[in-house]
């Protein structure tokens, strides 16, 4: 058995055309619940009712007000619907809000619809034909062009069974909603019960919500626990995409919570004050839209005042469509591909709408062909969008990309794999970078190695930790390791202990350095196991300290000298015989004291201590009180690195 599907039906149409009466006839519920609505006989706010279909499935119904003063409420309810009932009173025919609602439905890309002719009990059938013809003309060329028409009377119930069957038929044809994606529930109603938290209601657009889940409410951006759920008015353990849901949020009592806030899977959505969008100005718009003209923007159940920042022109003519940036005066949750409506300030009419292509863009400079080209790319597809996002962020975690793109994890992973396969993006540890960035970073690393070879030709290479600093701070340690591994595997760099070098690099002392090197090595060879503190040994040299340091580093890297501590250095011969002495000792005895070892190597306490501590750090020996025992003593006699 296929899993049940959940869908939302909405109404639309001019004031008084019979939307609420129709819903009452279909569901038995009066969605005009406010006293003012009852008194004035018109709907003001949204109404909700569950509709049980002949096959037993339950659809949610959203009833909207038709009066032009309450279009903002209509917009808050119409966004998430799958099927619209476009209601026309046969006695009045097509009226201004029939048209305005139709424009809105078109701009929001509502997938399916039914033309419902109401109050048929008041008209002759010839007249019904004429009105249906008029409606057909109105919807020609729109998504409703082929929509079925139903003639009903909510008074007598005539035509209602056929309408119900038609609704069921269309809902069965609709694809199921994305239940695997993140949960997203734009709040359309909310109330707080002191000591009980807050109850919010809305249509769950995607995902699932379960009792006990943690969800995020944005704004404000607070994470709270779901204490209780109701689906279509009945207690439930889980709510699924496409259902009307009431969520009791434990311990969440906010006076400033508003319609338009979103309940969502935590960490997935962000509040934004700026979106890039494809914006279309209706050809019916009364005048062109100018740069930074203020508008009302409606997205989901939210609305905000906004300014349209035209990027490639100073005015947008009615009927035209552009890529633009919209600045919002209040932050709201927007997602890529969300549809929105804009309305003008005065007169307050719907003038256009569009689709979000980037919910969190940087500020753009105007009249830049490169900006427009990038926006075009972004609009064109998910993959270019992801690539562009990676580039903008320099490096991005998959999670960040899921958020930015508004796509599920699987989907984003699929695109990233494809981008990697096409050599357009590269995964470095947890981070994704564009291939261009990866190459640039490789170049930075190679360059740092070359610079080190040039500036410090005596060093075997650049220290691992120093090399890491060649990458921008944004690069995670793992990304550095991955790049380094690639460069080493490709033979472009080589790792020598703690140093990284070009594979063909050989430290080359100058003749002057060579003389100093020989002086130093002679000093230490002659001192043998009596080698004293560094200052005592090298203090007489007249060379600059840096020159001495460079030579020492060179000698350490070659193994000619062994650095026991900052102060204590041994010639490799003295070191080898000390290590040998250590081995010989432990071959016969289980423990070793400092004095015993001092006598064995014929040295003094200071040197012996430095040696033993060095052996400790190498884990050759382990300290036990005043004694040492063998730990991971190397078996074979150490050979010099020459």
Instruction: For the CB of residue 140, give the shortest distance to Mg ion in the complex, in Å.
Output: 27
Q: Is 20 in the site for Mg ion (CB under 5 A)?
A: yes
Instruction: For the CB of residue 120, give the shortest distance to ligand GTP in the complex, in Å.
Output: 7
Nearest to 217, CA basis, from 185, 255, 244, 178: 185
Answer with the entry of Mg ion, ligand GTP, none that 18 interacts with (C-beta below 5 to 8 A by kind): ligand GTP
Pairing state between β 462-463 and 244-249: unpaired
> Residue 5: how many CB atoms within 10 A of its CB?
18
Pairing state between β 302-310 and 271-281: unpaired
Residue closest to ligand GTP (Cβ)? 66
The nearer residue to ligand GTP, 65 or 461, going by C-beta atoms, is 65
Residues 6+ apart with CB under 8 A from 283: 318, 319
The pair of three-digit structure tokens given for residue 454, joined into one six-digit string: 């040039």
The nearer residue to Mg ion, 37 or 550, going by C-beta atoms, is 37
The nearer residue to ligand GTP, 15 or 204, going by C-beta atoms, is 15
Answer with the entry of Mg ion, ligand GTP, none that 622 interacts with (C-beta below 5 to 8 A by kind): none
Q: Using CA atoms, how far apart are residues 617 and 613, in angstroms rounded to an integer? A: 6
Q: Which range touches Mg ion (CB under 5 A), out of 20-28, 130-138, 344-352, 461-469?
A: 20-28
- Phi/psi region, residue 228 (left: phi>0; alpha: psi -120 to 50; beta: rest), is beta
The pair of three-digit structure tokens given for residue 594, joined into one six-digit string: 């400092």
Answer with the entry of ligand GTP, Mg ion, none that 182 interacts with (C-beta below 5 to 8 A by kind): none
Instruction: For the CB of residue 76, give the shortest distance to ligand GTP in the complex, in Å.
Output: 14
The nearer residue to ligand GTP, 16 or 82, going by C-beta atoms, is 16
Question: Strand pairing partners for 622?
Answer: 629
Instruction: For the CB of residue 185, give the shortest distance to ligand GTP in the complex, in Å.
Output: 25
The pair of three-digit structure tokens given for residue 383, joined into one six-digit string: 């993959």
Nearest to 494, CA basis, from 509, 483, 504: 504
Instruction: For the CB of residue 407, give the shortest distance to Mg ion in the complex, in Å.
Output: 37
Q: What are phi and psi of 38, to 5 degrees?
A: -65, -40
Q: What is the separation, in whole angstroms, between the first and last Cα of the chain?
A: 76
Answer with the entry of Mg ion, ligand GTP, none that 21 interacts with (C-beta below 5 to 8 A by kind): ligand GTP
The nearer residue to Mg ion, 160 or 309, going by C-beta atoms, is 160
Q: Is 557 in the site for Mg ion (CB under 5 A)?
A: no
**Adjacency order of strands within the sheet including 396-397:** 396-397, 431-434, 425-428
306 burial (CB, 10 Å; 0-12 / 13-18 / 19+) is buried
Max alpha carbon distance in the chain (Å)? Answer: 124
Q: Is 203 in the site for Mg ion (CB under 5 A)?
A: no
Instruction: For the CB of residue 37, give the shortest distance to Mg ion in the complex, in Å.
Output: 8
Q: Which range touches Mg ion (CB under 5 A), out of 18-26, 303-311, 420-428, 460-468?
A: 18-26
The nearer residue to Mg ion, 81 or 308, going by C-beta atoms, is 81
Q: Which of residues 27-86 bind Mg ion (CB under 5 A)?
A: 43
The nearer residue to ligand GTP, 163 or 433, going by C-beta atoms, is 163
Contact 553, 547 (CB under 8 A): no
CA distances from 130 to 91, 231, 250 (A): 11, 41, 55
Answer with the entry of Mg ion, ligand GTP, none that 335 interacts with (C-beta below 5 to 8 A by kind): none
The nearer residue to Mg ion, 13 or 80, going by C-beta atoms, is 13
Answer with the entry of ligand GTP, Mg ion, none that 628 interacts with (C-beta below 5 to 8 A by kind): none
> Residue 406: how many CB atoms within 10 A of its CB?
23
The nearer residue to ligand GTP, 115 or 257, going by C-beta atoms, is 115
C-alpha atoms less than 13 angstroms from C-alpha of 123 in its C-beta half-sphere: 21
The nearer residue to Mg ion, 40 or 619, going by C-beta atoms, is 40
Instruction: For the CB of residue 188, give the shortest distance to ligand GTP in the complex, in Å.
Output: 16
Instruction: For the CB of residue 121, give the shortest distance to ligand GTP in the complex, in Å.
Output: 5
Residues 6+ apart with CB under 8 A from 359: 270, 272, 275, 334, 335, 336, 338, 404, 406
Instruction: For the CB of residue 478, give the shortest distance to Mg ion in the complex, in Å.
Output: 58
CA angle, corner 301, sides to 297 and 307, nearest 5? 15
The pair of three-digit structure tokens given for residue 11, joined into one six-digit string: 């109404």
The nearer residue to ligand GTP, 119 or 499, going by C-beta atoms, is 119
Instruction: For the CB of residue 160, give the shortest distance to Mg ion in the complex, in Å.
Output: 17
Instruction: For the CB of residue 52, give the shortest distance to Mg ion in the complex, in Å.
Output: 21
Where does this chain bind ligand GTP (CB under 6 A)?
13, 15-21, 41-43, 65-67, 118-119, 121-122, 153-155
**Interacting residue ranges for Mg ion, rule: CB under 5 A:** 19-20, 43
């Amino acid at each position: 058995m296929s899993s049940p599907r959940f869908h939302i039906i909405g109404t639309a149409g001019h004031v008084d055309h019979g939307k609420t009466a129709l819903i009452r006839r279909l569901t038995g519920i009066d969605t005009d619940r406010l006293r003012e609505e009852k008194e004035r006989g018109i709907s003001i706010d949204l109404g909700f009712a569950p509709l049980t279909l002949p096959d037993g499935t339950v659809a949610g119904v959203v009833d909207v007000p038709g009066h032009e003063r309450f279009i903002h409420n209509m917009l808050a309810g119409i966004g998430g619907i799958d099927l619209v009932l476009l209601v026309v009173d046969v006695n009045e025919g097509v009226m201004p809000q029939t048209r305005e609602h139709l424009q809105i439905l078109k701009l929001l890309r509502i997938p399916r619809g039914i033309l419902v002719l109401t109050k048929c009990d008041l008209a002759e059938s010839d007249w019904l034909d004429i009105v249906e013809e008029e409606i057909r003309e109105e919807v020609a060329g729109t998504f409703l062009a082929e929509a079925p028409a139903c003639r009903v009377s909510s008074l007598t119930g005539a035509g209602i069974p056929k309408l119900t069957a038609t609704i069921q038929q269309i809902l069965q044809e609709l694809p199921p909603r994305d239940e695997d994606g993140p949960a997203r529930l734009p709040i359309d109603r909310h109330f707080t019960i002191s000591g009980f938290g807050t109850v919010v209601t809305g249509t769950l657009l995607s995902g699932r919500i379960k009792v006990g889940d943690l969800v995020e409410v944005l704004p404000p951006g607070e994470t709270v626990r779901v204490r209780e759920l109701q689906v279509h008015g009945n207690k439930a353990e889980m709510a699924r995409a496409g259902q009307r849901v009431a969520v009791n949020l434990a311990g969440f009592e906010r006076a400033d919570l508003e319609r338009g806030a979103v309940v969502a899977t935590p960490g997935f959505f962000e509040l934004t004050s700026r979106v890039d969008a494809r914006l279309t100005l209706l050809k019916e718009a009364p005048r062109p839209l100018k740069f930074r003209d203020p508008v009302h923007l409606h997205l989901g159940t939210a609305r905000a005042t906004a300014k349209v920042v035209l990027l490639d022109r100073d005015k947008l003519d009615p009927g035209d469509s552009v890529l633009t940036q919209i600045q919002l005066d209040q932050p709201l949750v927007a997602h890529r591909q969300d549809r929105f409506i804009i309305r003008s300030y005065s007169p307050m009419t719907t003038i256009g709408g569009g689709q979000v292509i980037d919910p969190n863009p940087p500020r753009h400079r105007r009249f830049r062909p490169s900006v427009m080209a990038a926006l075009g790319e972004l609009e064109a597809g998910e993959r270019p969008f992801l690539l562009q996002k990676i580039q903008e962020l320099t490096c991005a975690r998959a999670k960040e990309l899921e958020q930015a793109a508004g796509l599920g994890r699987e989907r984003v992973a699929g695109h990233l794999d494809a981008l990697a396969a096409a050599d357009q993006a590269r995964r470095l540890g947890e981070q994704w970078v564009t291939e261009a960035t990866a190459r640039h970073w490789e170049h930075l690393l190679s360059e740092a190695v070359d610079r080190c070879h040039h500036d410090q030709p005596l060093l075997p290479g650049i220290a691992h930790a120093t090399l890491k600093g060649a990458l921008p701070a944004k690069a995670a340690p793992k990304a550095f390791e991955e790049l380094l591994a690639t460069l080493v595997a490709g033979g472009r760099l080589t790792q020598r202990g703690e140093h990284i070098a070009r594979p063909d690099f050989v430290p080359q002392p100058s003749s002057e350095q060579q003389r100093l090197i020989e002086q130093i090595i002679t000093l230490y060879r002659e001192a043998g196991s009596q080698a004293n503190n560094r200052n005592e040994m090298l203090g007489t040299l007249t060379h600059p300290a840096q020159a001495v340091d460079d030579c020492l580093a060179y000698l350490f890297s070659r193994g000619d000298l062994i650095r026991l501590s900052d102060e204590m250095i041994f010639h490799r011969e003295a070191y080898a015989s000390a290590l040998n002495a250590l081995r010989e000792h432990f071959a016969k005895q289980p423990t070793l004291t400092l004095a015993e070892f001092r006598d064995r190597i014929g040295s003094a306490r200071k040197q012996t201590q430095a040696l033993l501590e060095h052996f400790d750090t190498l884990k050759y020996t382990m300290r036990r009180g005043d004694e040492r025992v063998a730990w991971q003593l190397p078996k074979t006699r150490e050979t010099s690195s020459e």
